[in-house]
Amino acid sequence: MKNDAPWKSVEDVLASKEAPKCGATGTSDLTSIMTNILQETLGAKFQDVRGYPGGVEIDLAIEKGEIHCRGTGITTHFAREPYFTWHKNGSDRHLVQTGAKKDARLPDAPTLAELMDKKKSTALSRNVAKVMLVSATLGRPMIGTPGTPADRVKILREAYLKAFKEPEVVEEAKKSRLDLEALAGAEVEAQIIDVMNQPKEVIDKVKKLSAE
């Protein structure tokens, strides 16, 4: 959220008669996903302004005052401009983060789980949020073809985790200012199974929100 916008927190958005304008490329980008989730789980209303070609144009629109906010990944937000300058100048504010645990770089931004607990969000809404956020949670998972023998899957999973500890990989990540984290294959598999086994009412709600 732009620092000079009148909304200092999600609670301010909930209490406001005016909805903040958030920039998006379309219905499937992170801004649209987040505004839909915040309305579904908390009742916070945002006005999506869609049609921007990409994130650079959205950032520029925020700087020009055309819009007030956007959704973005934490890794990206701490890896490049204009965010370095925004943080240095104090020109942006972080309203909410969706990770299971709070990121140390965002001490003042509550997690979505904390907000849902505070607002006593329903189980349906919580599961809708889980399904809609799973792609952000998993990042870019590595997958194999169906029927790959279990012993080979085990070898690949172990090799993948070892690669993230290689000095060259760690150094490259530092140079690029990127977070270097990996979920174990078993955890990825469990999360995918979980979201694939949601009840029909959750899937129907996700489909509806994804089209809005």
Whether omega for the bond prior to residue 141 falls within 30 degrees of 0, making it cis, is no
CA 63, CA 70: separation in Å to the nearest integer?
12
For the chain, domain boundaries: 10-121, 127-211
CA 53, CA 26: separation in Å to the nearest integer?
9
pLDDT tens digits, 122-144: 999 999 999 999 888 887 888 88
Which of the listed CATH numbers 3.30.1130.10, 3.30.70.2500, 3.40.190.10, 3.10.20.30 matches domain 10-121?
3.40.190.10
Report residue 14's pLDDT band, with 50, 70 and 90 as the boundaries: very high
Asked if residue 153 lies in contact with residue 189, where contact means CB atoms within 8 angstroms, the answer is no
pTM for this entry: 0.84
Asked if residue 15 lies in contact with residue 26, where contact means CB atoms within 8 angstroms, the answer is no
pLDDT tens digits, 61-111: 999 999 999 999 998 899 899 999 999 999 999 999 998 889 999 999 999
Query: What is the chain's mean pLDDT, rounded?
Result: 93
Q: Is the pLDDT of residue 155 over 90?
A: yes
Q: What is the 3-state secondary structure (H, E, C) of the chain?
A: CECCCCCCCHHHHHHCCCCCEEEECCCCCHHHHHHHHHHHHHCCCCEEEECCCCHHHHHHHHHHCCCCECCCCHHHHCCCCCHHHHHHHCCECCCCECCCCCCCCCCCCCEHHHHHHHHCCCHHHHHHHHHHHHHHHHCCCCCCCCCCCHHHHHHHHHHHHHHCCCHHHHHHHHHCCCCCCCCCHHHHHHHHHHHHCCCHHHHHHHHHHHHC
Say what the pLDDT of residue 203 is.
Answer: 93
Tokens for 74? 């934490």
The label of the residue with tokens 């990206």 reads: 76
**Phi and psi torsions of 91, nearest 5°:** -95, 5
